[in-house]
Amino acid sequence: MRLNYHRSHPYRILFVCHGNICRSPMAESVMADMIGKEGLVGKIAVASAAAHTDEIGNPPHYGTREKLRREGVPLVPHRARLLTAEDGARFDLILGMDEKNVRDIVHILGARYAEKVGMLLDFSERPRAIADPWYTGDFNETYKDIREGCLGLLGALRRAGAI
């Protein structure tokens, strides 16, 4: 995965999970909050999408909404949308939450965009998958992992000169 940094537009990051109602909108909201607090609005833009059609058009899961509320992180206005092949050209970095998401992303985008694809926690000191709270019910652990990944990602973008 490569962090390009000679851009005339904001650095565009897309977070992807299975249905775009739990992990990816949580990551989008956490990162948007960090961007605002760090004074990076206009330098980084974030969005999220689904790798599958299960939840298209639905709002974020109640557990995601509730966890963000408890943490004081504003929920980005959101309805689940499907990742498209065009997203490969529109975004600088496309981050799945687990290995299956990464395989799905590459399948949808095609191999030519594979260098833009990775997992959010690749930017942490302990790269690993972020468990899906749809199955685990543990939105606290998901939030902790997403926050860790977003902080690591901001650090990597700074080191690369992207922001």
φ and ψ of 119, to 5 deg = -110, 145
CA angle at residue 139 from 39 to 23, to 5 degrees? 60
Query: What is the C-alpha separation between 61 and 53, in angstroms, rounded?
Result: 15
Tell me whether residue 12 is one of the annotated catalytic residues. Answer: no
Q: What is the DSSP letter of 137?
A: -
C-alpha 123 chain-centroid distance: 12
**Catalytic residue chosen out of the listed positions 17, 98, 145, 150:** 17
CB 11, CB 45: distance < 8 Å: yes
Structure tokens at 29: 């909201």
Query: What is the C-alpha separation between 50 and 19, in angstroms, rounded?
Result: 5
**Catalytic residue chosen out of the listed positions 22, 23, 33, 147:** 23
Tell me whether residue 22 is one of the annotated catalytic residues. Answer: no
Tell me whether residue 23 is one of the annotated catalytic residues. Answer: yes
Listed residue (82, 97, 80, 94) closest to 133, CA to CA: 97
**Catalytic residue chosen out of the listed positions 92, 98, 132, 145:** 132
The catalytic residue positions are: 17, 23, 132
